[in-house]
């Protein structure tokens, strides 16, 4: 019986998956015979006339220590359809693959053909083919690249609609609009693979939504011949979000309250009024997996000028009376927090609550670094994580948010490795470090309760942006590209899922206060250029914002207030007036 059922299932699957009938190479400039990179998006690549596999031109791309020389091309495909991919390659190691699907590689002094096959998903309407080398390995060559199979639509079906946009938003509805498509008799609005609206015109209002909930939609046109490929996604958040009482553009800083760190101790009462949010660094666990978080003021032996607990608490109250927010920051470089069990989760909630209550704090900052967060093999959907350290942290944060209510301030300070690097590599998908992108499920799960995400744009290696180019810390370009990724959202590595962008008022970016505070110090003029680009879409240095201008961008975070004091308050004095001048 089991064999019979298996055979029937195989026949059903074969019927569902269309063969590559009418196959054709879907790639543009597949043999690079235009003499250019037309149709391709590449880094560190050029066109050469030798060596070639056929014709007169081939691709040459050089992988450096910070750039794997990636070339990509995206083509429309049909759902549930089989495709084959091949390329002739030579030289140093070169990888051929499909984003979210299989890959293969070789290293050969002469041209060798790589090939693979894949089947598009049930709702898949496009596929990204890629070639790349390996970091530091040198130059590879590629020629005669093929992605064989039927194009994205049956004959007579309309083209995919142009980019949709979100219009009027209420606490329970989102209105979408998109350009008309020639030959279409109607349009379907999808959320994931679910049809949310079917309309004859080019607008639709999706209602019945929860307040402060984020949704991502695509649109397909249809007629009697069939349905088009889907449009690019658009993300919108309904109104009704609980907003912390912060300035439109805030200055956020960490205060070394439990240690001196070479920069000296700064008493809470001596923190200047320019700082809107003060993160107390750090609450740390008794052991990495206990979940039991402890915080105490810097010992007198290390910080001779430390205040008493009573003075510290009184100073917090004075800051709060001025409208400032004071948070406990959990983690840091030395505070590994791994909530591997529900017992650790519950201990985390109890102990963090005790710290908040003891000092009357406004909320919590999550600064998990090192090996605190990671993804188990096979945990590839950031929307539905399964790794215990992720699941338990999300549960703990939801409990704390529920306990303290709408005024509770929740911020996060991940490194780029845990967020933006998820565009290329996602830990649970295998093939690399299992920590890459591991903050994404936490950010996504808490997005409606998250006050500010301020990614650490420092102590980072080169990171690929949405332009598929690598960006290096220390200048305006890095802050622009990294922050735009958080606003626009991005496909998550090889998982087939897209991380939706955050609201602009939830976004800040972090940088060192001074050269001694961390790698990636950015001169004030470069910081201001980045803010002008992000808030006004001006002076972007050739970078195109995928997420558009963010006039309500929340502001800047720095490590740290202590280091800023040590260097004569350059950060505060340069950036507080500039933030005040933003729209």
pLDDT, one tens digit per residue, over 155-183 is 688 888 888 888 888 889 999 999 999 99
Residue 77's pLDDT is 83
Residue 243's pLDDT is 63
Q: Is the pLDDT of residue 8 over 60?
A: no
CATH (residue range 165-238): 2.60.40.10
Of 82, 179, 156, nearest in space to 124 by CA: 82
Residue 17's pLDDT is 42
* Residues 6 or more apart in contact with residue 48 via CB below 8 angstroms: 57, 58, 59, 60, 141
Give the span between the Cα atoms of 438 and 180, in whole angstroms.
Answer: 39
pLDDT, one tens digit per residue, over 469-483 is 999 999 999 999 999
pLDDT band at 24 (very low <50, low <70, confident <90, very high): confident
Residue 160's pLDDT is 84
For CATH 2.60.120.260, list the domain ranges present in the chain.
Answer: 41-148
Structure-model confidence comparison of residues 511 and 3, the more confident one? 511
β-partners of residue 176 are 166, 204
Residue 23's pLDDT is 52
Q: Is the pLDDT of residue 498 over 60?
A: yes
Residue 229's pLDDT is 81
Q: Is the pLDDT of residue 238 over 70?
A: yes
Q: Which stretch of 226-240, 391-405, 469-483 has the lowest confidence by average pLDDT? A: 226-240
* Residues 6 or more apart in contact with residue 141 via CB below 8 angstroms: 48, 51, 58, 59, 60, 89, 90, 91, 94, 111
Q: Are 389 and 373 in contact (CB under 8 A)?
A: yes
Does the domain at 41-148 match CATH 1.10.10.350? Answer given as: no
Q: Are 327 and 362 in contact (CB under 8 A)?
A: yes
Q: E strands of 369-461, at which residues?
A: 409-412, 452-456
Residue 123's pLDDT is 67
Backbone angles phi, psi at 43, to 5 degrees: -120, 135
Give the span between the Cα atoms of 456 and 560, in whole angstroms.
Answer: 12
Find out whether the peptide bond into 549 is cis, omega within 30 degrees of 0: no
Q: Tokens at residue 461, please?
A: 């290696």
Q: Is the pLDDT of residue 267 over 90?
A: yes
Mean pLDDT computed over 199-227: 91
Q: Is the pLDDT of residue 4 over 60?
A: no
Candidate ranges 5-14, 448-457, 490-499; pick with highest mean pLDDT: 448-457
For CATH 2.60.40.10, list the domain ranges present in the chain.
Answer: 165-238
Residue 156's pLDDT is 80
Class of domain 250-581: alpha beta
pLDDT band at 413 (very low <50, low <70, confident <90, very high): very high
Percentage of the chain exceeding pLDDT 90: 72
3-state secondary structure 458-481: CCCCCEECCCCCEECCCCHHHHHH
Q: Is the pLDDT of residue 9 over 80?
A: no
Q: Which stretch of 153-167, 254-268, 487-501 has the lowest confidence by average pLDDT? A: 153-167
Catalytic residue IDs = 369
Mean pLDDT computed over 269-276: 98
Calculate the alpha carbon distances from 258 to 23, 222, 288, 334, 452 in Å.
65, 62, 18, 12, 23
Residue 317's pLDDT is 97
DSSP strand pairing (138-149 vs 24-25): antiparallel
3-state secondary structure 99-145: CCCCEEEEEEEEEEEEEEEEECCCCCCEEEEEEECCCCCEEEEEEEE
pLDDT band at 7 (very low <50, low <70, confident <90, very high): very low
Residue 576's pLDDT is 97
Average pLDDT, the chain: 90
pLDDT, one tens digit per residue, over 527-557 is 999 999 999 999 999 899 998 899 999 999 9
């Amino acid at each position: 019986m089991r064999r019979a059922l298996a055979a029937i299932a195989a026949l059903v699957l074969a019927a569902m998956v269309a063969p590559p009938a009418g196959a054709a190479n879907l790639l543009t400039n597949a043999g690079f015979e235009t003499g250019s990179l037309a149709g391709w998006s590449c880094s560190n690549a050029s066109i050469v006339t030798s060596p070639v596999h056929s014709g007169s031109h081939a691709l040459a791309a050089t992988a450096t220590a910070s750039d794997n020389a990636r070339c990509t091309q995206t083509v429309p495909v049909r759902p549930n359809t089989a495709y084959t991919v091949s390329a002739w390659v030579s030289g140093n190691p070169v990888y051929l693959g499909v984003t979210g699907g299989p890959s293969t590689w070789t290293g050969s002094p002469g041209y060798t053909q790589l090939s693979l096959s894949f089947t598009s998903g049930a709702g898949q309407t496009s596929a990204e083919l890629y070639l790349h080398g390996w970091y530091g390995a040198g130059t590879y060559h590629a020629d005669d690249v093929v992605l064989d199979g039927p194009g994205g639509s049956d004959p007579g079906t309309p083209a995919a609609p142009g980019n949709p946009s979100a219009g009027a938003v209420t606490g329970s509805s989102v209105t979408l609009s998109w350009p008309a498509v020639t030959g279409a008799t109607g349009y379907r609005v999808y959320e994931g693979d679910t049809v949310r609206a079917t309309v004859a015109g080019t607008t639709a209002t999706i209602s019945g939504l929860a307040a402060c909930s984020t949704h991502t939609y695509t649109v397909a046109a249809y007629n009697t011949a069939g349905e088009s490929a889907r449009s690019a996604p658009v993300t919108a958040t309904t109104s009704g979000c609980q907003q912390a009482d912060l300035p439109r553009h805030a200055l956020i800083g960490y205060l070394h309250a439990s240690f001196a760190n070479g920069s000296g101790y700064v008493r809470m009462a001596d923190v200047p009024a320019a700082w809107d949010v003060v993160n107390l660094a750090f609450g740390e666990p008794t052991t990495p997996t206990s979940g039991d978080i402890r915080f105490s003021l810097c010992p007198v032996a290390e910080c001779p000028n430390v205040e008493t607990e009573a003075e510290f608490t009184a100073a917090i109250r004075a800051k709060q009376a001025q409208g400032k927010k004071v948070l406990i920051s959990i983690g840091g470089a030395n505070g590994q927090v791994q909530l591997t069990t529900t017992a650790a989760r519950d201990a985390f909630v109890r102990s963090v609550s005790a710290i908040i209550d003891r000092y009357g704090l406004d909320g919590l900052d999550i600064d998990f670094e090192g090996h605190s967060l990671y993804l188990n093999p096979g945990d590839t959907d950031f929307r539905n994580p399964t790794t215990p350290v992720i699941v338990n942290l999300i549960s703990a944060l939801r409990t704390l948010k529920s306990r303290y209510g709408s005024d509770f301030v929740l911020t996060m300070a991940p490194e780029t490795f845990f967020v933006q690097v998820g565009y290329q590599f996602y830990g649970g998908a295998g093939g690399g470090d299992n920590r890459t992108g591991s903050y994404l499920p936490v950010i996504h799960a808490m997005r409606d309760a998250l006050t500010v995400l301020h990614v650490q744009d420092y102590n980072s290696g080169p990171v690929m942006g949405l332009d598929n180019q690598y960006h290096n810390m220390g200048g305006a370009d890095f802050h622009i590209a990294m922050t735009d990724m958080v606003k626009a959202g991005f496909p998550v590595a090889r998982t087939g899922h897209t991380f939706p962008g955050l609201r602009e008022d939830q976004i800040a970016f972090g940088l060192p206060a001074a050269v001694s505070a961390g790698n990636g110090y950015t001169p004030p003029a470069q910081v201001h250029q980045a803010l002008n680009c992000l808030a006004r879409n001006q002076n972007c240095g050739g970078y195109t914002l995928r997420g558009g201008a963010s006039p309500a961008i929340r502001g800047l975070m720095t490590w740290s207030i202590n280091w800023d004091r040590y260097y004569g308050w350059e950060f505060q004095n340069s950036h507080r007036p500039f933030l005040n001048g933003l729209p």
